[in-house]
Amino acid sequence: MTDDPASITDIEDAADADDDLPTLLTRMLRQVNGVHTVYATKPIVPTLVTAVVEFVKNEPVGVHLVSVRDGDEGVEIEACIGVTGDEPAPDVCRRAHAALTDFFVQNGQPEPAAISVNIGRVG
């Protein structure tokens, strides 16, 4: 393995899946105990308009909820989640962060340079 930070493409290849990385991470976050929703980190209305335009143009439609960027130091992840009120929200937030980190490790990639997890709703 080189010292170069992993790129988004590297990780998508490593995950060996048809879906792109934001979609994979969204699906994974929905499986984390205590997470009931993954919200969009970018304004959803323009994103929906784009999706509708893509649909009308018969091009691939994708509304990404988790943001993934290639930064100077490596991949940067940003997620916004809704959590159940059954347990302390900070605990679920840390669990979601750990799950995101584990995703990369399990796919043989370096940990992301930055992971941001925001709770948008409790309960």
Q: Which of 96, 63, 62 is nearest to 79 (CA)?
A: 96
Shorter beta-carbon distance to another protein: residue 17 or 122:
122
The minimum distance between CB 8 and another protein, in angstroms, equals 17
Shorter beta-carbon distance to another protein: residue 17 or 53:
53
The minimum distance between CB 32 and another protein, in angstroms, equals 14
Q: Are the C-beta atoms of residues 82 and 93 closer than 8 Å to each other?
A: no
Shorter beta-carbon distance to another protein: residue 62 or 85:
85
The minimum distance between CB 16 and another protein, in angstroms, equals 25
Q: Which residues pair with 73 in a beta bridge?
A: none
Instruction: Give the interface with another protein as residue ranges (CB under 8 A).
Output: 37, 39-40, 43-45, 48, 80, 82, 85, 88-90, 93-94, 97, 101, 111-123
Q: What's the CA gap between 56 and 109, in Å, rounded?
A: 37
Shorter beta-carbon distance to another protein: residue 27 or 121:
121
Q: What's the CA gap between 103 and 31, in Å, rounded?
A: 12
Q: Which of 20, 67, 22 is nearest to 41 (CA)?
A: 67
